[in-house]
Structure 1
Amino acid sequence: MSKTANVKAAQSPWGPDDERGALNLLDPEARADVLQRADSSRVYDLSVDYFVGMPSFQGAGDPSYQIFMSHTPQGTLVDNLNNVGDDINRHVCYSGDVVFMYTHTGTHIDALNHFGVDGEIYNGYKAEEHLGSRSWTKGGAETIPPIITRGVLLDIANLKNVDCLPDSYAITVADIEEALEKSGLRLESGDVAFVRTGRMRYWPDGTKTLGNPPGLSLEAARWLTDQKISAIGADQECVEVGPSEHEDNWLPGHTHFLAEAGVPMVELLNLEELAADGIGEFCLIAAPIRFKGASGAPMRPLAMALRPSA
């Protein structure tokens, strides 16, 4: 185990008011290119369903996903809370519900305020100045724009010829380089990189999809951000390898991506269909719910294979 991770919160090169970090690398020309080259004959949904009993991170005391009916057709007839009477309530069937969940449940994106270092999040925003009673005033989920760009699949499980990488396997820089070479691709500025470990093949069995995840080593994370990616994602719960390989930091990948590099993280992606069809690059269309100030939000990423450039 390495002694220290040496991760620090960084100032944004896009100025003192920046809250988007590497998402500033999203390029209108790249967006137009991938939309033009997208094969719309098939759309891959990279998200998972939300349901009671779904696997979720509860190790630090966060709640499981819950859904409650707040209105039912029969209940509305009995209690008449809408004050329109029996005849109309027999005619109009009214249903409504309430969802209660940790914002980092299911397929979701981590906002830049999710992790910081020494009291600061990305771009030097400090807890004592920018954290209110309910949420951060900076770097929240609402600052994440719609992400429409080129996505690249780093299929490390396929590279290793396994259904799923072993528990706590630390993906190396060499692994990523070999996966790119095998696919004949390279990462470009503004791309989103999605890492496949194979864990999602076991979803929704929480005993196999959560805990001691194979994922990126800190060295691999730093190599990826050096390629100027705009966001990172994986088919497991924290993108990085767990448990931490560094004594001074329990989630060094999170602090690097979010606080040091300003790169949002997408977790619990379903990459199985993309991998099965051999899709290495794709048009990615994704956006989170605009939870103001939240440290994360559900996301539904969609992918379409890319036709070759003209």
Structure 2
Amino acid sequence: MRAYEDWVILAEANELKLSEVVLQDQMEELEQTEEALFERMRANLKVMRESVEAGLIGKRRSLSGLVGGDAAKVESHRKMGASLAGEIMSGVIAKALAVAEINACMGKIVAAPTAGSCGVLPAVLLTVEENHQVSERDLLLALFTAAGLGMILAERASVSGAEGGCQAEIGSAAAMAAAAAVELAGGSPRQTADAAAIAMKSMLGLVCDPVGGLVEVPCVKRNATAATIALSAAEMALSGVKSVIPIDEVIDTMGQIGKQMPCTLKETAQGGLAVSSTGRRIQADFL
């Protein structure tokens, strides 16, 4: 079973970025060239950019009518200079909402690691790109760091809401985004591990409770809050703040919590917000 710590040690010993270790691992496992893997990741990045752009326009609505237009509201508020959280934080919120709304409206997204958590990673990385001088290669490498962590999350625990609750989906996305953001900002492999652990710890136990069984409420707005957690975790790690619990232990704990959760709190729409008074009313409207 893979361990993120092993990759950190290997990267440190060879003075490599974490992403470069992941890239080498995938070249060997998939028997593909570096350029072939970069092309695949470049295609993913293109879709991420397009989904952000489409979502920020705010013209699309989901079939249920529950989702659409909120990203544009946040973006408009930001552009007016009225943001309470500041340019960077409001920007990441808007982008996360944008991609998650495009998903709910049946648009094209990159599941990173899942469709329900698709807004977190592009929101964080594209916001960092806007505010720092980074090359496309650096951005693509950061995506490899996220992907590498995603593989470990899926192997050691789960990235499925039906199996592990929303902590497995949106929590994994936050951890992946935090690690990638740290690398993109020039942080060390060890700092990517700390950022991922801090982000994941903040979302342990989060239930999956889609209202009406749709990946819309509360899923879309959770993408935005998870993106802010990822950015906060990255900021702490880059400042030298460490996670007391190592990332692999945090991942294993997330998996254990998922197994302990009742099925009513794992994507069945039988618990949590899905069975609130308003949630039941929305469910009835769809029947």
TM-score, normalization by structure 1: 0.24
Higher RCO, 1 vs 2 (CA within 8 Å, ≥6 residues apart): 1
